[in-house]
Amino acid sequence: MEWKREWKTLASIIIGFLVCYYLPVGSARFDNAVMEALHLAKWYAEEHVLLCLVPAFFIAGAIAVFVSQASVLKYLGAKANKILAYSVASVSGTVLAVCSCTILPLFAGIYKMGAGLGPATAFLYSGPAINILAIILTARILGPELGIARAVGAVVFAVIIGLLMHLFFRREEMDKAAAQAMMPEPEVARPLWQNVLYFAAMIGILVFVNWGKPDHPTGLWNDVYTHKWLITGLFSVAFGVILMTWYGLPRWQVALAAVPAVILALAFSNHPTLAFVAGFVGLSALISTREDENGEWFRESWGFAKQILPLLLFGVLVAGLLLGRPGHEGIIPSEWVSRAVGGNSLAANFFASFAGAFMYFATLTEVPILQGLIGSGMGKGPALALLLAGPALSLPNMLVIRSIMGTKKTVVFVSLVVVMATAAGMIFGTFF
């Protein structure tokens, strides 16, 4: 066995040496691809880590601490009522306007708490796929038939993928259900309605701080965008009151933690992200050293961050290297993509779903990208295939899913999404 380890080490060294030796440094396409990887990572850090992932980590940590395991098992566990479990999981995206990466801490939270594989993966798919804002934008820009097909397809996909994941791994799920049946009923620390308001405040912060600017400068969506930081601030105030009233944090400490955020909000009103970050820094400083459930909340949140964030950033770098940012090119020329998705052939639909699964789409960016591809000759079938596979998956997303539920389940999950998106594209393209 010792010599096998040494041979593996030698092989790794040789492969690493050959990769470095033959790096095409100086080639215009390779050098540009490296810059695209760095640009995409920078953009991701600016737009998603602070505003999307930080709140999501705190929500995931709160799920692990403040949501009773009995509640998760009742609604999403391996022995839960299937109609209820899949109904809850498959429409979650209408509330969570998140991308394929932001959903990961939330998925990790409910999966860790004992959610069945089927409902958990239905939630994992539906979170970014059934974004109500994205569906409305799809219908408005790409046509009502694509918008309706995307909405219906995403809900149906979530249920079918969850059921198939449960079927494929039913032996493990049966063992999990048997173990859950032997668990004692835990004590409930506070009424359900208090926890509901607590999570509603955090989800409100996550949703409105990421509210995107609409195309039209008038209307309800634009009014919400104009006042999104005010709305976020009101949710933050409500959250602070909840922490003081029901979660045992001293009022003077909460007020002290909020002071830097208030000062920055008033002094730098044109840079509200500073106040937002200061609020989470103050919250972290407030709860990180506590020995009660609030301290456990911080430790769980930090645990999710350590597990997920490095993989996400690495995946973003690789995705940027291969495919570049929207509107830019990586190693793979964009003209290859445009040529490969023309018409409604099986190859075009499969390529659209496969490529979409590995690309990273921030929330709502898939629509203008598709608009450009359709203008370049992309068929309606491949367009739907990309809409059903792309927002729900990405290379960074896959790396994290693997760390949560293992290689085998991840491969099956990704394969189901790609195959079903391909089939849906073929069917849609036949009629439209």
pLDDT tens-place string over residues 204-252:
898 888 887 776 777 777 888 889 999 999 999 999 999 999 998 999 9
The DSSP symbol for 213 reads: P
| The pLDDT of residue 161 | 93
Q: Which residue has the higher pLDDT, 209 or 91?
A: 209
- Region 302-306 average pLDDT: 88
User: Among 14-18, 81-85, 123-127, 412-416, whose mean pLDDT is lowest?
Assistant: 81-85
- Is 189 part of a structural domain of the chain? yes
- Is 4 part of a structural domain of the chain? no
- Is 130 part of a structural domain of the chain? yes
| The pLDDT of residue 179 | 66
> Average pLDDT of the chain?
83
CA–CA distance, 121 with 417 (Å, rounded to integer): 11
| The pLDDT of residue 84 | 78
Work out whether the CA dihedral 393, 397, 401, 407 comes out positive or negative.
positive
Q: Which residue has the higher pLDDT, 349 or 60?
A: 349
> Taking 60 as the threshold, does the pLDDT of residue 183 lie above it?
no
Q: Convert the pLDDT of each residue in 23-39 to its tens digit.
A: 888 888 888 888 988 98
| The pLDDT of residue 379 | 84
Q: Are 356 and 386 in contact (CB under 8 A)?
A: yes
Helix then strand then coil, in percent of the chain rounded to 5, is: 75, 0, 20
- Region 337-362 average pLDDT: 83
| The pLDDT of residue 19 | 85
Which distant-in-sequence residues (6+ apart) come within 8 Å of 61 by Cβ? 109, 297, 298, 299, 300, 301, 302, 303, 304
Percent of the chain exceeding pLDDT 70 equals 89
Percent of the chain exceeding pLDDT 90 equals 25
> Taking 70 as the threshold, does the pLDDT of residue 354 lie above it?
yes
- Region 368-379 average pLDDT: 74
| The pLDDT of residue 154 | 87
Find the angle CA(22)-CA(25)-CA(28) to the nearest 5 degrees. Answer: 130
- Is 366 part of a structural domain of the chain? yes
- Region 84-91 average pLDDT: 78
- Is 218 part of a structural domain of the chain? yes
| The pLDDT of residue 244 | 93
Residue 153 in tokens: 């397809």
User: Among 42-46, 195-199, 273-277, whose mean pLDDT is lowest?
Assistant: 42-46
- Is 6 part of a structural domain of the chain? no
- Is 219 part of a structural domain of the chain? yes
| The pLDDT of residue 261 | 92
| The pLDDT of residue 94 | 60
> Taking 70 as the threshold, does the pLDDT of residue 182 lie above it?
no
> Taking 60 as the threshold, does the pLDDT of residue 4 lie above it?
yes
Residue 155 in tokens: 């809900």
Domain count, the chain: 1
| The pLDDT of residue 281 | 92
- Region 82-103 average pLDDT: 72
| The pLDDT of residue 278 | 93
Which structural domain range is residue 400 located in?
28-248+292-431
Q: Convert the pLDDT of each residue in 43-77 to its tens digit.
A: 878 877 888 888 888 988 888 788 776 677 777 77
Q: Convert the pLDDT of each residue in 155-179 to its tens digit.
A: 889 889 989 998 999 888 777 766 6
CB-based burial of residue 335 (10 Å sphere; 0-12 exposed, 13-18 middle, 19+ buried)? exposed
- Is 262 part of a structural domain of the chain? no
| The pLDDT of residue 217 | 72
| The pLDDT of residue 254 | 92
